[in-house]
Structure 1
Amino acid sequence: MFARKVKIKVTPSTLQPTIFVLKMTEDEFNELNEWKQEDCDLYLVDESTKKELHCQISDASLEATPDGNLRDYCMYILVNNLESEEDTTYTFSINKRKKEEVVLPNGHSYNPWGKTKGVFLENQLDNKRVIVCINGALFTRYLYSEDLPKPYFYPLIGPAGKTLIHDQADDHLHHHGLWWGHDSVNGHQLYHEFRGEGRQRHVSFLSCFSGPVFGQITALIDWQANNGERLLRETRTMRIYNMPNDSRYVDLVCQLHATEGDVEFSDTKEGGFPFVRVNEEINGHHTGQILSSNNDVGESNVFGKEADWVDYTGKIKRGSNYVTTGLSVFVHPTSDDYPAKWFVRDYGPFTSSNFHFCGGHTIKRGDKYTFKQRLYIHKNSPEEAFVNRRYEEYKEVLKAVLT
Structure 2
Amino acid sequence: MLFIFLLISCKEVKNTATINNTISEEEVQESSKVKFTKDDANRKIDITIDGRPFTSYIYDGQTPKPILYPLITKSGKTVTRGFPYDPRPNERVDHPHHAGHWLNYGDVNGLDFWNNSYAIPEEKKHKYGTIYHQEILQSDEDNGILKIKAIWRSPEDIDLMEEITEFTFSEKENTRIIDRSTTLNALKDVSFKDNKEGMIGIRVARELELVSDKPALYTDAEGNVTEVEALNNEGINGNYFSSEGLTGNDVWGTRNKWVKLESEIEGETASITILDHKKNIGYPTYWHARGYGLFAANPLGQAIFSEGKETLNFKLNKNESVTFNYRILIHNGSKLTNNALNTSFNEFNTK
Taking only the aligned residue pairs, the percentage that are identical comes to 26
Correspondent of 1:203 among 126, 134, 138: 134
Q: Hey, what's the Cα distance between the residues in 1 that align with 2:48 and 2:147?
A: 17
Aligned to 1:186: 109
Aligned to 1:143: 58
1:229 paired with 2:152, answer no
Aligned to 2:301: 356
Q: Hey, what's the Cα distance between the residues in 2 that align with 1:127 and 1:180?
A: 21
1:369 paired with 2:298, answer no
Aligned to 1:293: 243
Aligned to 1:166: 81
TM-score by length of 1: 0.64
- Name the amino acid aligned to 1:370: T
**C-alpha displacement at 1:295, in angstroms?**
1.3
Structure 1 gap segments, 5+ residues each: 1-50, 53-79, 81-94, 100-114, 398-403
Aligned length: 278
Aligned to 2:206: 280
**C-alpha displacement at 1:147, in angstroms?**
5.0
How far does the alpha carbon of each residue in 1:217-261 deviate from its partner, in whole angstroms, 9 at most, with x for none? 1111111111211111111121101434x22221011111112x2
TM-score by length of 2: 0.73
- Name the amino acid aligned to 1:153: L
- Name the amino acid aligned to 2:180: L
Structure 1 moving runs of 4+ over 3 Å: none
Verify the 8 A CA contact 2:284 2:299 in the aligned structure 1: no
Q: Hey, what's the Cα distance between the residues in 2 that align with 1:123 and 1:138?
A: 14
1:125 paired with 2:40, answer yes
- Superposition CA RMSD, Å: 2.4
**C-alpha displacement at 1:375, in angstroms?**
0.8
Aligned to 1:388: 342
Aligned to 2:292: 347
Aligned to 2:189: 262
Aligned to 2:255: 306
Higher strand share: 1
**C-alpha displacement at 1:146, in angstroms?**
4.0
Aligned to 2:147: 218
Verify the 8 A CA contact 2:70 2:80 in the aligned structure 1: yes
**C-alpha displacement at 1:116, in angstroms?**
5.5
Higher helix share: 2
How far does the alpha carbon of each residue in 1:64-83 deviate from its partner, in whole angstroms, 9 at most, with x for none? xxxxxxxxxxxxxxxx9xxx
Q: Hey, what's the Cα distance between the residues in 1 that align with 2:339 and 2:39?
A: 35
Structure 2 gap segments, 5+ residues each: 1-20, 85-91, 212-235, 303-310
Q: Hey, what's the Cα distance between the residues in 2 that align with 1:146 and 1:276?
A: 18
* Structure 1 residues 146 and 303: CA distance shift in structure 2, 3 A: closer
Aligned to 1:239: 168
Aligned to 2:180: 252
Is the deviation greater in 354-363 or in 214-223? 354-363
For 1:313, what is the secondary structure of its paired residue? strand
